[in-house]
């Protein structure tokens, strides 16, 4: 690789020294003299396959990436072209890469790794909200500041240019072979779920210092991604928490639709593992599809089945009422506002972009779904998502939630309600249910603090009975009455629990 330093005569930049090199170029530390700050300049050599369209495409993407203002994404300051190379001026992050940090460390700190991965997720989530995917997620592209603050690097034009410089003629791929997804390796397909897969391989490496997929040549590695089962991380690092194996197993599913449906869902499980709670989305069933069979028992027996974490009790799902899935769009506080929805959905998914929502609805279009959009998250983006949903998925239930009055069209106002109104509106579904049994009501009252008013006719006498949380004696007496052969009853009113419960 030639040294481009003698040719880096850029106005307002003083090039200090080379700080990194790769297959397509070098990275130099420089000082931006007019702003008195350190920056990194990535230089990428031109290849024989270079053409003007490639660079124009890169400039368009660079403009998009310039809008990505997120603390977990390396900022792009400038981009340009010289006769022998392209260059990018980017934010300088002084802590080195996650890859180097893992190799240097004598002991693997699982808690610290999950904290770093959580930051990476938020950066990728923010980029996806702007329609940008990374396509080369790996430890070497995750940079750390001095205090373990993670920033994702190599977004955009550097990735586009590097990809094209690697292309031979046919069968070329985007990404690094050890971290590439099966669908990318086989079909050249990339979407955010491919980034999730690469993130799974990244986590695997961080937890074990081993590659999940490794071979003597590129074709062998790509074959492994698409076809082979792997060792669970615990086989290389027996000190890992059992749930770490499940999260990685969920991310490394061969089929994209079996992975996490959004970065928000992954963040929920990361928060669960950080706070020693039951996982919400990853399961032993996922692990069975990716890990070698004789290894599942090593951690499956230690892992509790995930149950009512952020969702309604199983009986509501079995009764075939309310919603199968609630998709919450926006940065919700999982334990407060979203309680309105979690009390009536079998499973809740947290999403931040129309791309995530669209893929989910296409996959589960036969199920009963509700999309809840938090207008206060980002009003303009929320309105755009709402408009697209009404256009492309007119049969999907949509709820437009806000704390304040906003400017809205007549159509939007039909779906608009405040946080306080949300639970009341959702509870109407329950009140309309005809085929409902008393045990179901009793469990909802006991486990979810719902309150129910019943009208009971017993031997010609009609009485009203209230079933609520904590009133165990009344619950038992009422169960005895309604279980009689000649007794009939109906549901009069449903009162949802308070938000604070």
Q: State yes or no: pLDDT of 43 exceeds 60.
A: yes
The Cβ-side half-sphere exposure at 102, using a 13 Å CA radius, reads 22
The Cβ-side half-sphere exposure at 480, using a 13 Å CA radius, reads 5
Predicted confidence at residue 223, as pLDDT, reads 92
State the pLDDT confidence band at 398, using cuts at 50, 70 and 90: confident
Give which of 139, 138, 150 is closest to 103, Cα–Cα: 139
Q: How far apart are CA 139 and CA 458, in angstroms?
A: 69
State the pLDDT confidence band at 55, using cuts at 50, 70 and 90: low
Q: How far apart are CA 284 and CA 303, in angstroms?
A: 8
Whether residue 154 lies in the annotated active site: no
Least confident residue range of 86-100, 156-170, 444-458, 461-475: 156-170
Cβ 191 vs Cβ 256: under 8 Å: yes
Predicted confidence at residue 66, as pLDDT, reads 82
Q: What is the 3-state secondary structure (H, E, C) of 51-110?
A: CHHHHHHHHHHHHHHHCCCCCCECCEEEEEECCCEEEEEEECCCCCEHHHHHHHCCCCCH
Give which of 224, 276, 426, 436 is closest to 339, Cα–Cα: 426
Edge-to-edge strands, sheet with 345-351: 345-351, 323-329, 369-374, 397-402, 416-418
Cβ 306 vs Cβ 334: under 8 Å: no
| Pairing, β 142-144 against β 150-152 | antiparallel
Question: Average pLDDT in the 35-60 region?
Answer: 72
Report in angstroms the alpha-carbon separations of 473 from 220, 466, 467, 501.
67, 12, 10, 22
Question: Average pLDDT in the 316-334 region?
Answer: 56
Q: What SS3 class is residue 288? A: helix
Cβ 369 vs Cβ 324: under 8 Å: yes
Q: What is the 3-state secondary structure (H, E, C) of 210-243?
A: CCCCCCCCHHHHHHHHHHCCECCHHHHCCCCCHH
Predicted confidence at residue 272, as pLDDT, reads 92
Least confident residue range of 117-126, 214-223, 273-282, 306-315: 306-315
Q: State yes or no: pLDDT of 256 exceeds 90.
A: yes
Structure tokens at 62: 């660079």
The radius of gyration computed from the CA coordinates of the chain, to the nearest angstrom, equals 27
Question: Average pLDDT in the 459-475 region?
Answer: 77
Q: State yes or no: pLDDT of 268 exceeds 60.
A: yes
Structure tokens at 400: 């437009």
Least confident residue range of 102-106, 135-139, 280-284, 344-348: 344-348
Predicted confidence at residue 306, as pLDDT, reads 28
Question: Average pLDDT in the 178-182 region?
Answer: 94
- For the chain, which domains are there? 5-91 (3.30.200.20), 98-300 (1.10.510.10), 314-422 (3.40.50.2300), 436-495 (no CATH)
Q: How far apart are CA 157 and CA 315, in angstroms?
A: 51
Cβ 102 vs Cβ 138: under 8 Å: no
Predicted confidence at residue 463, as pLDDT, reads 83
Predicted confidence at residue 300, as pLDDT, reads 58
SS3 content of the chain, % helix, strand, coil (to 5): 40, 20, 40
Q: State yes or no: pLDDT of 159 exceeds 80.
A: no
Predicted confidence at residue 238, as pLDDT, reads 83
Backbone phi, then psi, for 234, in 5-degree steps? -60, -25
CB atoms within 10 A of CB 419: 15
Q: State yes or no: pLDDT of 400 exceeds 70.
A: yes
pLDDT tens figures, 293-317: 877 766 654 433 222 222 222 333 3
Predicted confidence at residue 397, as pLDDT, reads 76
Question: Average pLDDT in the 265-271 region?
Answer: 95
pLDDT tens figures, 479-497: 788 778 778 877 777 776 6
Question: Average pLDDT in the 396-410 region?
Answer: 70
Predicted confidence at residue 335, as pLDDT, reads 46
Predicted confidence at residue 166, as pLDDT, reads 42
Least confident residue range of 107-116, 374-383, 420-429: 420-429
CB atoms within 10 A of CB 355: 17
pLDDT tens figures, 120-142: 999 999 999 888 888 889 999 99
Least confident residue range of 49-63, 177-191, 466-480: 49-63
pTM tops 0.75, yes or no = no
223, burial (CB in 10 Å: exposed 0-12, middle 13-18, buried 19+): middle
Question: Average pLDDT in the 379-383 region?
Answer: 69
Least confident residue range of 174-188, 305-319, 349-363, 440-454: 305-319
**Beta-bridge partner residues of 484:** none
Structure tokens at 141: 């592209």
Predicted confidence at residue 163, as pLDDT, reads 45
Which residue has tokens 């197993």? 249
Structure tokens at 218: 């590129």
Q: How far apart are CA 430 and CA 443, in angstroms?
A: 14
Predicted confidence at residue 497, as pLDDT, reads 61
Least confident residue range of 221-225, 257-261, 449-453: 449-453
161, burial (CB in 10 Å: exposed 0-12, middle 13-18, buried 19+): buried
Q: State yes or no: pLDDT of 403 exceeds 80.
A: no
Could you say which of 52, 136, 314, 439 is catalytic? 136
Predicted confidence at residue 271, as pLDDT, reads 93
Predicted confidence at residue 259, as pLDDT, reads 97
Q: What is the mean pLDDT of the chain?
A: 77
Buried b (16+ CB within 10 A) or exposed e, 362-385: eebeeebbbbbbbbbbbeebbbeb
DSSP one-letter code for 256: G
């Amino acid at each position: 690789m030639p040294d481009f330093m003698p040719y880096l005569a850029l106005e307002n930049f003083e090039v200090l020294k080379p700080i990194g090199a790769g297959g397509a170029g070098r990275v130099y530390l420089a000082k931006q003299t007019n702003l008195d700050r350190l920056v990194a300049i990535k230089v990428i050599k031109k290849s024989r396959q270079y053409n003007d369209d490639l660079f124009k495409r890169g400039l368009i993407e660079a403009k998009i990436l310039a809008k990505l203002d997120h603390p977990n994404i390396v900022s792009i300051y400038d981009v340009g072209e010289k006769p022998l190379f392209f260059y990018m001026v980017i934010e300088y992050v002084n802590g080195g890469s996650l890859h180097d940090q893992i190799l240097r460390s004598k002991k693997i700190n699982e808690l610290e790794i999950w904290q770093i991965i959580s930051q990476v997720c938020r950066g990728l989530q923010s980029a996806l909200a702007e329609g940008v995917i990374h396509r080369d997620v790996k430890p070497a592209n995750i940079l750390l500041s001095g205090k373990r603050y993670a920033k994702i690097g190599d977004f955009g034009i550097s990735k586009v240019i590097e990809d094209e410089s690697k292309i031979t003629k046919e069968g070329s791929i985007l990404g690094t072979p050890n971290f590439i997804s099966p669908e990318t390796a086989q079909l050249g397909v990339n979407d955010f779920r491919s980034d999730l897969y690469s993130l799974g391989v990244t986590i695997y490496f961080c937890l074990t210092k081993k590659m999940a997929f490794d071979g003597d040549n590129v074709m062998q590695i790509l074959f492994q991604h698409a076809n082979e089962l792997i060792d669970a991380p615990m086989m290389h690092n027996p000190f890992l928490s059992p749930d770490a194996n499940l999260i990685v197993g969920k991310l490394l599913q061969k089929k994209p639709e079996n992975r996490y449906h959004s970065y928000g869902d992954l963040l929920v499980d990361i928060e669960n593992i950080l706070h020693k709670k039951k996982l919400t989305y990853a399961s032993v069933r996922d692990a069975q599809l990716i890990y070698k069979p004789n290894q599942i028992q090593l951690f499956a027996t230690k892992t509790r089945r995930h149950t009512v974490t952020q969702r309604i009790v199983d009986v509501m799902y079995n009764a075939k009422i309310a919603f199968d899935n609630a998709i919450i769009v926006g940065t919700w506080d999982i334990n407060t506002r979203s309680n309105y929805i979690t009390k009536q959905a079998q499973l809740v998914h947290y999403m931040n972009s129309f791309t995530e929502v669209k893929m989910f609805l296409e996959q589960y279009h036969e199920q009963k779904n509700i999309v809840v959009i938090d207008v206060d998250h980002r009003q303009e983006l929320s309105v755009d998502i709402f408009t697209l949903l009404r256009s492309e998925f007119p049969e999907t239930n949509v709820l437009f939630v806000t704390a304040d009055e906003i400017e809205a069209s007549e159509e939007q106002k039909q779906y608009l309600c405040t946080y306080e109104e949300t639970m009341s509106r959702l509870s109407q579904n329950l009140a309309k249910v005809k085929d409902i049994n008393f045990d179901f009501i009793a469990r909802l009252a006991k486990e979810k603090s719902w309150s129910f008013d019943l009208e009971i006719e017993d031997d010609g006498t009609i009485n009203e009975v209230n079933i609520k949380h904590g009133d165990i004696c009344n619950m038992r007496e009422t169960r005895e009455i309604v279980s009689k052969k000649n007794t009939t009853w109906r549901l009069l009113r449903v009162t949802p629990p308070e938000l604070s419960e």
